[in-house]
Structure 1
Amino acid sequence: MNIAEERIERLASLAREATAECHDDRAREYVRLARRLAERNRVSLPEQFKRFTCDACDSYLRPGKNARVRLQSGHVVLTCDCGEQKRHPYDS
């Protein structure tokens, strides 16, 4: 694991902690930094990070707090407070 990937992991954990403590602006900044770092170093973001960040407003999604989770035929739908939706398949 190179330095950029380690820093992205650290920013993801900081964003998760900041959202848990209701510091949404700080969490949004951590998400933006992680995305910019991944683009500049041409590394992919971790799958867990991709799933729980909103592409539209860069907020870190916490189900029940700033995101709604619904199950529809064969996929999970995460809806952010801004209205953006993410769909992920699941096996039943």
Structure 2
Amino acid sequence: MASIAEERIERLTVLAREATKAGEPDRAREYVRLARRVAERHRCGLPRTFTRFTCDRCDAFLVPGVNARTRLQEGSHVVVRCDCGATERYPY
């Protein structure tokens, strides 16, 4: 059974995605910051989808084609680059 904090983090993830697609990046950043604070306060981890689609440097919710570039790199890595210049690499 999911805790209330985990449910709130999921809801904030959905709200951040919708705000980014609607062209409201500042509102999406607030949702991301709030979700991280909830996770810290209740000592529960963030879901993988949340960590993969948020920028650690500027707290933006990353949507490929809107505010992030997603590329495949040789050696089986996914490279996600935010508009702020931060780059993350994930194996696939």
Q: Note if 1:84 corresponds to 2:86.
A: yes
**In structure 2, what is the Cα distance between the partners aligned to 1:33 and 1:42?**
14
**In structure 2, what is the Cα distance between the partners aligned to 1:31 and 1:10?**
11
Partner deviation per Cα, 1:40-83 (whole Å, 9 max, x = no partner): 10000011011000000000001011101111021000000000
Which residues of 2 match residues 1-92 of structure 1 at below 5 A?
1-73=2-74, 74-90=76-92
CA RMSD of aligned residues (A): 0.5
Paired residue secondary structure (1:56): coil
Paired residue secondary structure (2:54): coil
Q: Which runs of 5+ in 1 are unaligned?
A: none
Paired residue secondary structure (1:68): strand
How many residues align? The count is 90
Structure 1 consecutive aligned stretches of length 4 or more whose deviation exceeds 4 Å: none
**In structure 2, what is the Cα distance between the partners aligned to 1:34 and 1:72?**
30
Overall identity of the aligned pairs, in %: 67
> TM-score, structure 2 length as denominator?
0.96
Q: Which runs of 5+ in 2 are unaligned?
A: none
> TM-score, structure 1 length as denominator?
0.96
**In structure 2, what is the Cα distance between the partners aligned to 1:19 and 1:70?**
20
